[in-house]
Structure 1
Amino acid sequence: MTTVATKRDYSLLGRDAEAAVASGLAAAEWYHTDIPRKQMKELMKREDGPAIRDTAIWLGSMVLLGGLGIYFWGSWWAAPFFLAYGVLYGSASDSRWHECGHGTAFKTMWMNDAVYQIACFMIMRNPVTWRWSHTRHHTDTVIVGRDPEIAVMRPPDLLRLVLNFFGIIDVWHAMIDMVRNAFGAISAAEKTFIPEMEQPKAIRVARIWLAIYLATIG
């Protein structure tokens, strides 16, 4: 007897989302290794110095590379500088978005928040939406229908993976979400992980950022 596998529903409002809740996978208590509180505090010790140095090098390098790209504009010499600038802009901002969102980069929380906001703006992520999206991701990691941040789905879509390596699909969807939020609409999927009291803040931030994006383009 051959079993035919059904295609998974990765949406947050679909069949697999309901199944995850019904089977107890949503917000489940998983096995974890017990670490003494004192040892955990030692492992989680943070310092501002290294993070400030790293941030200064990151932003300073972008200013330098961008300046050299502009200086050599009109010749092929500009290409490597803009390529390096693009890598630092996209890849490095993503890692800083993640760590500062968790509050693990700096010891001082406002520094984490500041860099988190900058990184979110650079990669077109609403900081309110993505803070709660990532909270859900860590609550229901890779639970189909519950985790909104599953990057590689099954069966894998190789074209999508290649396009998203350059952020092409993500940017398109990010812009659609930003415009929708700016017009005061929170999607049904977003409502499953953004608390009701936080939704007006997501709308307000989207309006501010969209205005800045449009002003920059204009």
Structure 2
Amino acid sequence: MDHRSFLAGLTAEQRTELNETSNRKGLAALAVHFGSIAFLGTIIALGVPGWPLLMLPQGILIVFLFTVLHETIHRTAFRSPWLNDLVARICGFLILVPADWFRYFHFAHHRHTQDPENDPELGGAKPHTIRQYLVHVSGLPTWWSELKTLLKNASGRCADPFVPAGGQKKVQHEAVTSVALYAVLAALSFILASDALLFVWIVPCLFGQPFLRLYLLAEHGRCPFVSNMLENSRTTYTNRLVRRLAWNMPYHAEHHSYPTVPFHKLPDLHRLTKDHLGATSESYRSFHRDYVGSLKNLTGTG
């Protein structure tokens, strides 16, 4: 069964229930995520003994705001559109991924999932050697790409084919605003001779990015180049903590099959699709074990 047949078989009642958004559930999840960042950030800023050890979990929490950004650009995190847009802009700013630009990028990814000619997510090719894998997982190419994109957009030179002509000015304005705010924060840190932002935000993000790369690689890595969303996207089974951190996006085939379903309803959707999923992994560890194993076979390295 492909995702279109599956969706066609849903009743009107099932569709209504699956698509029910909620400000309450969204705000509760956001309070835990932002609250954890604020709590760890405060401890780091105060220099409580052992604070350097907290930069890794702090960084993981911050970079996984990407999953909040993802949910909000779909406008499924909350019932109120304005709340989705506000949180999307905050999250995008914190991880160097402006929300308007990312919305165009991501919706093109949904329209052309695993299409080598049109899926913008395939523009940064998945690793095919051990060396490429290590470089990819380091997160450094990601930061460099995001910085270049931000500066290019701010200068009005955005040439991404997924950004429509009518969206060019909006993307530029968003990028200019972001660059200006980053400059203000840097200037304030210099004037106040404070390294708080460095150790509460920037360095933790560098530590946390590899964990986001490992997570994201499982979403479509080694999935077939077909149009069936139940096959070209992977659902990865994991524990409750990771699912909460990623706003249930480990149910990724489900999300691609029915992207208007909010994060808190994805477990319900999974129960309906689980017998039809074409790409699954029992854990992120097993996915990467198999992925690295395939790279070793390709390169002939041990």
1:103 aligns with 2:78: no
For 1:29-178, list aligned pairs within 5 A: 31-33=4-6, 34=8, 35-72=10-47, 77-91=50-64, 93-150=65-122, 153=125, 156-178=128-150
The Cα offsets for residues 90-125 of structure 1, whole Å up to 9 and x where unpaired, read as 12x011011111111111111111111111111111
Distance 1:212 1:166, change over 3 A: farther
Structure 1 counterpart of 2:157: 185
1:207 aligns with 2:176: yes
Asked if structure 2 preserves the Cα contact closer than 8 Å seen for 1:160 and 1:169, the reply is no
Q: Offset at 1:64? A: 1.3
Q: Offset at 1:166? A: 4.6
What amino acid does structure 1 have at the position aligned with 2:98? N
What amino acid does structure 2 have at the position aligned with 1:40? R
The Cα offsets for residues 192-216 of structure 1, whole Å up to 9 and x where unpaired, read as 2111111111011111101111222
Asked if structure 1 preserves the Cα contact closer than 8 Å seen for 2:72 and 2:85, the reply is yes
The Cα offsets for residues 23-82 of structure 1, whole Å up to 9 and x where unpaired, read as xxxxxxx84421233321111112111211111121121111011112226x6x112222
Measured on the aligned residues, the alpha-carbon RMSD in Å equals 2.2
Distance 1:207 1:86, change over 3 A: same
Q: Offset at 1:151? A: 8.1
Q: Offset at 1:160? A: 4.1
What amino acid does structure 1 have at the position aligned with 2:72? C
Distance 1:31 1:197, change over 3 A: same
Q: Offset at 1:164? A: 4.0
Rounded to whole Å, the distance in 2 between the matches of 1:87 and 1:164 is 17
For 1:21-36, list aligned pairs within 5 A: 31-33=4-6, 34=8, 35-36=10-11
Instruction: Please state whether the residue corresponding to 2:105 is helix, strand or coil.
Output: helix
Q: Which ranges of structure 1 fall in alignment gaps of 5 or more residues?
A: 1-29
Q: Offset at 1:154? A: 5.7
TM-score by length of 2: 0.56
Distance 1:123 1:202, change over 3 A: same
Rounded to whole Å, the distance in 2 between the matches of 1:155 and 1:169 is 12
The Cα offsets for residues 118-147 of structure 1, whole Å up to 9 and x where unpaired, read as 111111112222111111101110100210
Rounded to whole Å, the distance in 1 between the matches of 2:132 and 2:123 is 10
Distance 1:116 1:162, change over 3 A: farther
Rounded to whole Å, the distance in 2 between the matches of 1:89 and 1:154 is 24
Distance 1:106 1:158, change over 3 A: farther
Asked if structure 2 preserves the Cα contact closer than 8 Å seen for 1:97 and 1:119, the reply is yes
Structure 1 or 2: more helix by fraction: 2
Identity percentage of aligned residues: 25
